[in-house]
Amino acid sequence: MPTVVIASNNKHKVSEIRQILDFDGWDFKTLAEMGLASDPDENAQTFEGNARIKAQAVRTLCPDCAVLADDSGLVVDALDGRPGVYSSRFAGEDATDAENNQLLLAELDGVAEQDRTARFVCTIVFYDEQGNEFVAEGSVEGIIGTEECGAGGFGYDPLFYPDVFGRTCSMAEVAPEDKNRVSHRGNALRALKKMMQ
């Protein structure tokens, strides 16, 4: 049974990956479960570049393991694509989700609803045990609300109203299985799964 190391220290991402990607016979392990520590400098200007940095860093530590890395973020049209690759540190290097959300709301203050279009983007870089690379991307379109709604999800979920739900509820207001069915990460992981079959 192949062991796949999930190259993330983000427990929310790890949970979503495990829920969505259910390859029979694959054993998904976190860095901590493998006794590994990896926190590389994510200095690429693209989601794919940052995902590759994370995957390669773990592959160096565990060269015989399959590795799955994800980089994702929020791309807001009215902010010229920001926060983008800086989504998790939009309000500063150690910013909380709440601080990032508050800064996003402040930057969009006065922007009309029709101009608050955005998308979540996720790029997955996967290395199999032989070192072959697979890259998959997913996205979900929507708008940024004017206040946080919902207690589920994480990150910008309370502010993001996806088109697929008619912009009537935030990602933080839907059940996890419904979110995973339409999310950027879910779409990227399903694209990866198709490549691997």
| Averaged pLDDT, groups of 10, the chain, 197 residues long | 83 83 77 86 94 95 92 98 97 95 98 97 96 97 96 94 95 93 94 86
CATH for 3-196?
Answer: 3.90.950.10
128 is catalytic: no
User: Of 41, 71, 109, 163, which is the active-site residue?
Assistant: 71
Cα separation, 15 vs 43, in Å, equals: 25
- The per-residue pLDDT for 104 is 98
Q: Could you tell me if residue 183 is left (phi over 0), alpha (psi between -120 and 50 degrees) or otherwise beta?
A: beta
In contact, 38 and 55? CB cutoff 8 Å:
no
pLDDT for residue 11 = 81
Question: Taking the model in full, what pTM does it have?
Answer: 0.91
The pLDDT of residue 102 is 98
Res 195: pLDDT: 87
CA distances from 44 to 54, 121, 158 (A): 11, 15, 27
